[in-house]
């Protein structure tokens, strides 16, 4: 077996993070997905296909045939194929790949997992839960405000540098997949939270020292993805939000609330950094569910 490339490891980690946030799967189920996908990606690497984007439909068919020839039970092969298809479907949805190599393969029909989103009231509770004068409270409040106000991926938020901030904080410069830059406007409340952190809490934490990254740990190191996840989850617990909340949940909430409010889908696509409008169209399904829910609640024959 070949070692996974950095690209394959990152893609696998992102996929598992998204599954954890959106589907609420049990730990043993996530472990099974990781085991199946790691084995698949190692087989692809052995065949010289070290990046997920290099994997072809023909390579997947060859892998399936080798699994069957090795005596693997058909049910197990089907389960592994489900994991592979979900993996590539998610990469396309997130804008990491332009094409899904499993698209034309005969695979079990998968139920569509729509992204979980928070209500506006839950977002407000989340932001209120991390307010405070302490530097790290200001940091957490600014981080969550930024994630919700801009739809930034967690990697984009923790990678944000002071050079990515416009002087009046009306826009934020985010660097997405493939180092593609996009400008996303910030609302007044997000600007206030970010300004408070930059001029007060962050300044007190640095005590005259300099740092390139916007969000810093207690040790003045750039905040890691894992730390960002932990801070968001801690705020959710403090707020009493029952849903499994992650930075990705805030990204989805940003997009779905914009669509519900009547935002143009292509504008939402630009702000999210999606390569294809098809990736963004999932939020029209969420909006349709919201409208149907309103109808059921208020229509006399709902």
**Backbone region of residue 57 per phi and psi (left: phi > 0; alpha: psi in -120 to 50; beta: other values):** alpha
Asked if 144 contacts 154 with a C-beta cutoff of 8 angstroms, the reply is: no
Is 148 assigned a catalytic role?
A: no
Q: Are strands 181-185 and 171-175 parallel, antiparallel or unpaired?
A: antiparallel
Catalytic residue among 191, 251, 252, 257: 251
Residue given tokens 């009046």 in the structure block: 168
Phi-psi region for residue 276, left (φ > 0), alpha (ψ -120 to 50) or beta? beta
Residue 153 appears among annotated catalytic residues: yes
Which of 42, 43, 12, 47 has the alpha carbon at shortest distance from 30? 12
Whether 89 is a known active-site residue: answer no
Known catalytic residue: 180? no
Q: 12 to each of 8, 9, 52, 134, 164, how far by Cα in Å?
A: 6, 5, 9, 36, 28
User: Which of 177, 213, 225, 238 is the catalytic position?
Assistant: 177
Residue 231 tokens read as 């801070």
Catalytic hit among 89, 248, 252, 257: 248
274 included as an active-site residue: yes
By the 8 A CB rule, do 52 and 38 touch?
no
Tell me if residue 296 is catalytic: no
The single residue of 153, 191, 196, 252 carrying the catalytic annotation is 153
Catalytic hit among 202, 231, 252, 274: 274
- Structure-block tokens of residue 168: 């009046």
DSSP label at residue 112: P
User: What 3-state DSSP class applies to 287?
Assistant: helix
What is the three-class DSSP state of 116?
coil
Q: Which residues have a catalytic role annotated?
A: 153, 177, 248, 251, 274, 283
């Amino acid at each position: 077996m070949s070692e996974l490339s950095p690209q394959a490891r990152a893609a696998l980690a992102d996929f598992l993070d998204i599954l954890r946030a959106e589907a609420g799967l049990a730990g043993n189920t996530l472990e099974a997905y990781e085991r199946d996908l790691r084995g698949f990606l190692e087989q692809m690497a052995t065949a010289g296909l070290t990046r997920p984007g290099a994997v072809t439909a023909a390579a997947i068919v060859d892998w399936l045939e080798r699994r069957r020839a090795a005596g693997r039970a058909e049910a197990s092969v089907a389960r592994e194929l489900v994991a592979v298809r979900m993996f590539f479907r998610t990469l396309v949805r997130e804008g990491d790949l332009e094409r899904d190599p499993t698209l034309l393969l005969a695979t079990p029909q998968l139920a569509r997992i729509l992204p979980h989103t928070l209500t506006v009231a839950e977002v407000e509770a989340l932001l209120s839960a991390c307010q405070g004068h302490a530097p790290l409270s200001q940091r957490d409040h600014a981080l969550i405000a930024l994630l919700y106000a801009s739809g930034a991926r967690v990697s984009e938020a923790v990678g944000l540098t002071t050079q990515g901030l416009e002087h009046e904080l009306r826009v934020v410069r985010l660097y997405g997949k493939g180092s593609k830059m996009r400008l996303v406007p910030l609302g007044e409340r997000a600007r206030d939270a970010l300004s408070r952190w930059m001029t007060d809490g962050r300044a007190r934490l640095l005590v005259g020292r300099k740092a390139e990254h916007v969000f810093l740990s207690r040790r003045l190191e750039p905040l890691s993805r894992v730390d960002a996840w932990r801070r968001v989850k801690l705020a959710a617990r403090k707020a009493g939000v029952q849903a499994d909340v992650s930075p990705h949940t805030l990204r989805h909430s940003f997009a779905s609330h914009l669509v519900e409010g009547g935002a143009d889908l292509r504008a939402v696509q630009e702000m999210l950094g999606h390569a294809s409008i098809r990736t963004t169209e999932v939020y029209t399904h969420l909006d349709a569910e919201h409208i149907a829910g309103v109808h059921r609640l208020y229509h006399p024959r709902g």
